[in-house]
Amino acid sequence: MLLPKEHGAYGQMAMPLVTALVVAGPSPMAGAIVAGFLAHEPLMVLLGTRGPRARREAGLSAPVWLGALAVAGTVAGFLALGQTPPALRWTYLLPLVPAVLLTREVWRGQPKSATAEVSAATAFSLAAVPMVASAGAPVTTGLSIALPFLVVFVAATLAVRAVTRRVRDGSDSPAGRPAGRPAVFTALAGTAALGWAAAVTALPWSACAAALPGAVLAAGVAVALPHPRHLKRLGWMIVGASLWAAGVLVATR
């Protein structure tokens, strides 16, 4: 089977999904999310993004896997939609819009662009909302799961991009330091927005507490811009921040 090679995407897919399953219960939407995630690699192979060798070696299996996953994901998605109250079916648009943007970037041969990576992080996070809705839980529960992961994943994605840009521009060059500003802004603005929402809406304060360590980590990395050789360690730190978010959200459900 052709498995996605972007290791960070596994956490972005799994953390909100598992958290939603624990908090709200099972939903066919989980199958649709996993199928969409797995379909990414055969699509990349067929489009030639993985190179001519991968397309030559997996040219026969890729369309089979892509077709099977597309059917499985579509069936699971319609099953989830069917058991979602009609008044809440709009929630499926939340992950669908960034998923369409991601597909467009992949189709254009730009799977590593900022738009593609941010869209992937956004889609996986917001998928928790329709997943929770299809399981019969309130939209507020879905948002309390999706929004903390959204802040952490998007800020971390932008921070990692700023670190990798150091290879090309240098951390002390005019282009190096400003590269981290989007991550810092996302971390600060996202955490502030969660705090505001908890103060004036039904969103629980646990959503803000869940996002805080990951947001602080992303902002710190974006400011410090460590050498790219530390990316593996940084990746594990992001995993730890995601586990913290999941633990807080489950413990305070």
Question: pLDDT truncated to tens, each residue of the chain (253 aa)?
Answer: 688 888 889 999 999 999 999 999 999 999 999 999 999 888 888 888 878 887 777 777 888 999 999 999 999 999 999 999 999 999 999 999 999 999 999 888 898 899 999 999 999 999 999 999 999 999 999 999 999 999 999 999 999 999 988 666 554 444 456 778 999 999 999 999 999 999 999 999 999 999 999 999 999 999 998 888 888 899 999 999 999 999 999 999 8
The answer to whether the beta carbons of residues 164 and 104 sit under 8 Å apart is no
At 175 the pLDDT is 47
The answer to whether the beta carbons of residues 247 and 18 sit under 8 Å apart is no
Global pTM reads 0.92
| Rounded Cα–Cα distance for residues 10 and 4 (Å) | 8
**Phi, psi of 76, deg, nearest 5:** -60, -40
| Rounded Cα–Cα distance for residues 177 and 137 (Å) | 43
Show the tokens assigned to 172: 């002390």
At 229 the pLDDT is 87
Q: Residue 96, CB half-sphere, CA atoms under 13 Å: how many?
A: 11
At 36 the pLDDT is 93
At 170 the pLDDT is 53
| Rounded Cα–Cα distance for residues 89 and 47 (Å) | 32
